[in-house]
Amino acid sequence: MTEDEAWQAGRGIWKFNADRALAQDEVQIVNTEGLVLAVATITGISKHGDRYALEGELLRGDARVGKPTTTPPPVTQLRRLLLTSRFPHSGLKELHGLPIHHP
């Protein structure tokens, strides 16, 4: 999975508290082994019905990509995130240290 693919899979569309998401500076997309797949700054959110997607700038080539995350959970107040079925084989189990439950 490329950084771009990880960012697209992890950024949304989710049900989450928009204010809490906007209080964060960045997001790490982390796989089941705890390796960072992508890092992005959070610049905003977009609304999709009753769900949201993170908007931001992917930090391609960030030094943390491919290394174990050093950010202990919970880093953010985002909770009960659902990875959409668009990426059922992405291997994503965490977003910014918080569990993702596949539908």
Exposure string for 8-31, b = 16+ CB within 10 A, e = fewer: bbbbbbbebeeeebeebebbbbbb
Compute mean pLDDT per 10 residues along the chain, 103 residues long, and list them. Answer: 90 85 87 84 93 94 92 44 38 51 45
Q: What pLDDT was estimated at residue 30?
A: 82
The token duo for 3 is 């950084």
Label residue 91 exposed, middle or buried (CB < 10 Å: 0-12, 13-18, 19+).
middle
Q: What pLDDT was estimated at residue 76?
A: 37
